[in-house]
Amino acid sequence: MSTQTNTSRLAVMNFLNEVAGDFPDAISLASGRPAEAFFDLERWLDSIPQYQREFASRRDLSYADAGRLLAQYGRTNGIVNELIAEQLALDEGVHGRSEHIVVSAGCQEALALCMLSLCQDKNDVVIARDPTYIGMTGVADLHGIEIVPLHSKDDSQLAAELEEVAEKLRHQGKRARALYLIPEFDNPTGTVLSLEAREALLSVCAGQRIAVLEDNPYGMFRYEGERLPTLYALDRAGCVIYLFTYSKTLCPAVRVGGALVPDTLFGSAEAARTLVANLGERKSFLTVNTSQLNQALIGGMLLAQQGTLRELIAPQLEHYRRNRDLLLAALEKEFADQRDAVHWNRPEGGFFLTMKLPFSFGQAEVLRCAREQHVIPMPLSFFSLSGTCQDSIRLAFSNVEPSLIGEGVARLGQFVRQCQEVCDAAV
């Protein structure tokens, strides 16, 4: 395995998989996967016939013919769009048109389709907070799309920074085409974008005609505090494209997610319809259509749950909340005497928190931490757009055994103390 310290963004996921593979007994606080304990394949597969019956009755087909049609190639933009529109409205307060939904192979495909549709010229640029989700930077890197970072840690500065960045880009002959945001329990930071920042950013985007890609895989997993309206719900100008997924509420293997385009794009219904058509056109040559069997599973579950997934995810939510609390309690205990040097945030939901350490924690440190202490955290610098966050790590608490959280943090504490002793000795 390579031990270089400058990991290219595209190599990061590979590196982490290798570390996890090389140290199978290590406790992983790196993987942000949903908890497998709640995967209920038999029940989900059993829901497919319910959708098949609905599909048959809507199209005036026999049950058997409906099954044959579901097993065929299908409509590029999806077949469960109405059920998805209903669920987004009920669960997330996102009211959109089902015809403006493009169902995709997870949210990842929707993200790629949107970025490619919005950034067609070499001078078209995407703006994102630094650090940000690797899946977005990966799409941009693969397709040669430039990403310009917003550095403000303080929400209240973001809109002014965005305005400044857009202006600077204009002077360079470039165009800020999209702003990528994860407003709810951000991956990697675990933070929530304030209501004021949401409104201020929307106002800049409306004025500058910058589309917002609102990625919201964790919004359903709020453990405490008041839910904020999505950017999509706050948008009056028609600039927000809402990205959704069933990877966390159901499971990643179903590979169903998508994009919801606003009724009008910057005031134009025609432009919104054109974007939907453009996304579909690209999709038809990328994945043809999203598996209809997988869509039937989602459709069946949505029918069985009367349109809302809130009740279904309640046990998961409780598990994640408990894991978060266990992690916070373990951190309090382990780092009690280092509170002035080690800092972390308390996420109100989602799968992650971040920790700031008094030294650099990069690829070499992950390897040492895995080898010597058998625990794997994720360097935050892996998510950075500009080489920042060298002294921070992301801790994921979603898919770690509750009984291992205390031990994992104790081992991390041990590693941090070792590193600090080395730093202190060097001073």
Note the residues at the interface with ligand PLP (CB under 6 A): 32, 106-108, 133, 135, 182, 187, 215, 217, 245, 247, 252, 257
3-state secondary structure (DSSP) of residue 84 = helix
Q: Shortest Cβ distance from residue 19 to ligand PLP (Å)?
A: 18
Nearest partner of 194 among 344, 131, 202, judged by Cα: 202
**Using CA atoms, how far apart are residues 35 and 38, in angstroms rounded to an integer?**
6
**Using CA atoms, how far apart are residues 56 and 192, in angstroms rounded to an integer?**
42
DSSP secondary structure code for residue 76 in this structure: T
Q: Shortest Cβ distance from residue 139 to ligand PLP (Å)?
A: 10
DSSP letters of 44-64?
A: HHHTHHHHHHHHHHHHT--HH
Tell me the CB-side half-sphere exposure of residue 417, using CA atoms within 13 A. Answer: 12
By beta-carbon proximity to ligand PLP, the closer residue of 189 and 208 is 189
Q: Which two tokens stand for residue 393?
A: 């790590």
Q: Shortest Cβ distance from residue 299 to ligand PLP (Å)?
A: 17
Q: Shortest Cβ distance from residue 135 to ligand PLP (Å)?
A: 5
DSSP H stretches of helix in 287-391: 292-304, 310-334, 363-368
By beta-carbon proximity to ligand PLP, the closer residue of 208 and 245 is 245
Which residues sit opposite 241 in a β-bridge?
A: 213
Residues 6 or more apart in contact with residue 30 via CB below 8 angstroms: 16, 19, 20, 366, 376, 377, 378, 394, 396
List strand residue ranges (DSSP E) for 193-285, in order: 211-215, 240-245, 257-260
By beta-carbon proximity to ligand PLP, the closer residue of 49 and 135 is 135
By beta-carbon proximity to ligand PLP, the closer residue of 158 and 182 is 182
Q: Shortest Cβ distance from residue 209 to ligand PLP (Å)?
A: 24
Residue 379 near residue 361 (C-beta atoms within 8 A): yes
By beta-carbon proximity to ligand PLP, the closer residue of 155 and 184 is 184
By beta-carbon proximity to ligand PLP, the closer residue of 52 and 76 is 76
By beta-carbon proximity to ligand PLP, the closer residue of 289 and 373 is 289
Q: Shortest Cβ distance from residue 378 to ligand PLP (Å)?
A: 12
By beta-carbon proximity to ligand PLP, the closer residue of 163 and 184 is 184
Looking up tokens 């960045």 gives 165
By beta-carbon proximity to ligand PLP, the closer residue of 96 and 257 is 257
Q: Shortest Cβ distance from residue 3 to ligand PLP (Å)?
A: 26
Residues 6 or more apart in contact with residue 2 via CB below 8 angstroms: 15
By beta-carbon proximity to ligand PLP, the closer residue of 247 and 292 is 247
DSSP letters of 93-143?
A: -----GGGEEEESHHHHHHHHHHHHH--STTEEEEEESS--HHHHHHHHHH
Q: Shortest Cβ distance from residue 272 to ligand PLP (Å)?
A: 23
Q: How many CB atoms lie within 10 A of CB 338?
A: 15
Say how far residue 413 (Cα) sits from the centre of its chain: 28
Q: Shortest Cβ distance from residue 4 to ligand PLP (Å)?
A: 25
3-state secondary structure (DSSP) of residue 146 = strand
Q: Shortest Cβ distance from residue 116 to ligand PLP (Å)?
A: 16
